[in-house]
Chain A
C-alpha cells in the first residue's frame, strides 16, 4: 500500500466537501436536527413518565452512537458514489491506485467527517440538554470501534451493490441503515419490538452494542458479553462485506460495467 496514493484520495474528498455545500448536510445539518429532535422528545417523555433527564440521556446517547455508524457508512458509500456522479471511475481505474488504497483513503477522510458530526451532536446535546457524552467514559472506545466496523461493512455492501446493479442501488447508502435503525434497538431494548421482529433484532450486531451503551448509561459496568457478541457479529459482517465487494468488482470488470459510468 502506497501512502502517497491514499493521501491523494483523502485530498480529493476534502476538495469535494470543501466545495459542495450539500455534503455538509450529512456532517452538520442532520446531526443538529437529530440531536434537537431526539433531545426534545426525550425531555418531553421524561417529564411525562417522571424520569427526569434520564429519558433525554437515553435518546441522545442513542442518536449520538447512531451517528457514528451512520457517518462511517455514508462517508464510505457516498465517497465512492462521488466518483460515479462525476464520471471519474474510469480515470481512477486506469491509475496504479489499488482498491485497498482507495478504501483506506475514503475511510480516513470519513473519520474526519465522523469526528465533525459527532462533535456537532455532542455539542448540541451538551449545550441544549446538558447531556455530556463523555460521561460514558472509556466504555465509549470499544462501543465506537464496533460501530465503525459495522458502518464500514454496510458501506462496502452498498458499494458492491452499486458496482453490480448501478446507480439504482445508491438509495441504499441511506436506506439500509434506516432499515436497521428500528430493528437494532437504538433507543430501546430489543424486547420493545413486536415479537415477530425481535429475532431479527437479536442477530444484528448493532443491537448488542446499543444495549451495552444503555447499560453503561444506567451506571452499570460495560457488559463485555454484549460487546463481544456485537464485535463477533461485526467481524462476520465485515468479512462478508469484503468478500461481496471483491466478487462484485470482479463481476464489474468481467461484464464491462464501466460503460455505465463513462
Chain B
C-alpha cells in the first residue's frame, strides 16, 4: 500500500516537502526514492539530463501524477487528500503549455484568477501584466501569441494569487535571449517583491546560475547533488554547472 495518502502534516520545515518519491512507468523507473525540500523564498533549480525524472517529479509535487510511494506536502497540506488546499499556495507554468484557444489574454487570466480564489482578479491581472511589461497583450487572442509571449502570460497566470511557491517547467525553452532575459528579470523582481520560492527546471545552465541559489541534480530519478551552484560544480570537479550536466548526461548514456 503506497504511503501517499498517509494522514497529517509532517511538521517538517519548508514550503514544499517531498520524501521517498517513487514512480515507475512500465519498465522505466522514472523517479527512485527522491527527497526534496524547498524553503520559504528559496530559489531552487531541479536539473538533470533528458529522462532524468524532472517533469515526473514536478507533476508528482503538483498532485497531477500519483507517486507509487512516498509523500508530498505543500504548506503542510498533504497530497493527494488535500490537493486543492495545497494548490492554493502554488503557481505552475511551463514553456510548452499553450494558452487555450478562443480566449483573450485578459479573459484567460481573469478565469484563472477566479480558479485560484480571487473574487476580483482585475487588479492582480493588471499588476502581473505590468510586472512583465506586457500590458499591450491584454486584448490579444491566445493563439495570436509568440512562444515567448505565451510563456510570460503563463507565468503571470501562475502568480496572480501571489503563491509562496512558483513551479516552472522549462520556462525559457526555445525563447530568444531577449525574451529569456525579460522572463528572468520579471521572476527576479517577483521573488524579491513577494519572497516567492522558486522551483524551476531548465536546460540552460547559465540561466540557472543567474536565477537560482541552489541546484538539485537528479539522474535516473535520484538526487545526485544538492547545494549552491559553485559547490556542486566543485564537488564534481567541474568549472560550472554545464560541466556537471554534461558529465551526468555522459554517465547516463554509458549506463
Bound Cα distance from A262 to B92, whole angstroms: 14
B197 beta carbon closer than 8 Å to chain A: no
A98 and B62 within 8 A (CB): no
Query: Are B92 and A88 in touch, CB under 8 angstroms?
Result: no
Pair B96/A256 contact, Cβ less than 8 Å = no
Q: Which residues of A contact B92 (CB under 8 A)?
A: 94
Report the separation of the CA atoms of residues A4 and B116 in the bound assembly, to the nearest whole angstrom.
Answer: 9
A18 to B65, CA, bound (A): 33
Query: In the complex where A86-B98, A93-B64, A262-B96 touch, is A11 in contact with B111 (Cβ < 8 A)?
Result: yes
**Is B205 part of the contact surface with A, judged by Cβ < 8 Å?**
no
How many B residues, CB 8 Å from partner?
33
With A8-B111, A88-B100: A2-B56 Cβ-Cβ less than 8 Å? no
Tell whether, in the assembled complex, residue B65 and residue A95 are in contact, meaning their CB atoms are under 8 Å apart: no
Whether A90 contacts B84 in the complex (CB less than 8 A), given A4-B119, A7-B114, comes out as no
B contact residues around A98 at 8 Å (CB) = 84
Min C-beta distance of B138 to chain A, whole Å: 15
Query: Which residues from A are CB-within-8-Å of B103?
Result: 12, 15
Q: Is B222 an interface residue (CB 8 A)?
A: no
Question: What distance in Å separates the Cβ of A113 from its nearest Cβ neighbour in chain B?
Answer: 16
List the B side residues contacting A202 at CB < 8 Å.
none
CA distance A193 to B226 in the complex (A): 70
Decide if B33 is an interface residue (CB 8 Å cutoff): no
Given contacts A90-B94, A256-B25, contact A20 B102 (CB under 8 A): yes
Q: Which residue of B lies closest to A251 (CB)?
A: B66
Bound Cα distance from A39 to B72, whole angstroms: 59
Measured between beta carbons, the chain B residues less than 8 angstroms from A85 are 101
Q: Is B236 an interface residue when CB atoms closer than 8 A count as contact? A: no
Measured CA separation A11–B115 after assembly (Å):
11
Cβ-defined contact, A86 with B100, below 8 A: yes
Please indicate the chain B residues that have their CB under 8 angstroms from the CB of A19 in the complex: 102
Contact indicator A96/B84 (Cβ below 8 Å): yes
Nearest A residue to B26, CB-CB? A255
Give every chain A residue within 8 A of B80 (Cβ-Cβ). 253
Asked if B90 is at the interface (CB within 8 A of a chain A CB), the reply is yes
Given A87-B98, A262-B96, A96:B116 Cβ within 8 A = yes
Q: B180 to nearest A CB, angstroms?
A: 21
Which residues of chain B are within 8 angstroms of A253 by Cβ–Cβ distance?
64-66, 80
How far apart sit A253 and B92, CA to CA, in the bound complex (Å)?
17
CA distance A155 to B115 in the complex (A): 23
In contact, A15 and B102 (Cβ under 8 angstroms): yes
Is B35 interfacial (CB-CB < 8 Å)?
no
Considering the complex, give the chain A residue whose CB is closest to the CB of B103.
A15
**Bound CA span A124–B157, Å:** 44
In whole angstroms, what is the CA distance A90 to B112 when docked? 13
Query: Inside 8 A of A255's CB, which chain B residues have their CB?
Result: 25
Closest to A12 in B: B111
CB nearest to B119 among chain A residues: A4
Most B-side CB within 10 Å, residue of A83, A93, A95, A98: A95
Chain A residues near B239 (CB, 8 Å)? Answer: none
CB distance from B56 to the nearest CB of A (A): 7
Q: Which residues of B contact A180 (CB under 8 A)?
A: none
B87 within 8 A of A: yes
Say whether B133 faces chain A, with CB atoms less than 8 Å apart. no
Chain B residues in 8 Å Cβ range of A11: 111, 114
Is B181 an interface residue, CB under 8 A from the partner? Answer: no
Q: How far is the CB of A240 from chain B (nearest CB, A)?
A: 23
**In the docked arrangement, what's the CA distance between A4 and B111, Å?**
10
Residue among A11, A18, A97, A253 with most chain B CB within 10 A: A253
Q: Assess the A96–B85 pair: CB atoms within 8 A.
A: yes
Question: How many Å lie between the Cα of A18 and that of B107 in the bound state?
Answer: 13
B23 at the interface (CB under 8 A from A): yes
Which residues from chain B contact A2 at a C-beta distance below 8 Å? 117
**Distance in Å: Cβ of B106 to nearest Cβ of chain A:** 11
Q: Are B112 and A95 in contact (CB under 8 A)?
A: yes
- Flag if B64 contacts A258 (CB, 8 Å): yes
Question: In chain A, what residue has the closest Cβ to B68?
Answer: A254
Chain A residues engaging chain B, CB cutoff 8 angstroms: 2, 4-5, 7-8, 11-12, 15-16, 18-20, 83, 85-88, 90-98, 250, 253-256, 258, 262
Query: Which positions in B face A, CB cutoff 8 Å?
Result: 23, 25, 56, 59, 62-66, 80, 84-85, 87-88, 90, 92, 94, 96-98, 100-103, 107, 111-112, 114-117, 119, 157
Could you list some 7 contacts between A and B, CB below 8 A? Answer: A4-B119, A11-B111, A86-B98, A86-B102, A93-B62, A256-B59, A256-B65
Given contacts A90-B64, A96-B85, A262-B97, 18 further A-B contacts (CB under 8 A): A5-B115, A11-B111, A12-B100, A16-B102, A19-B102, A83-B100, A90-B94, A90-B97, A91-B97, A91-B100, A92-B115, A94-B62, A95-B87, A95-B115, A96-B115, A97-B115, A256-B56, A256-B65
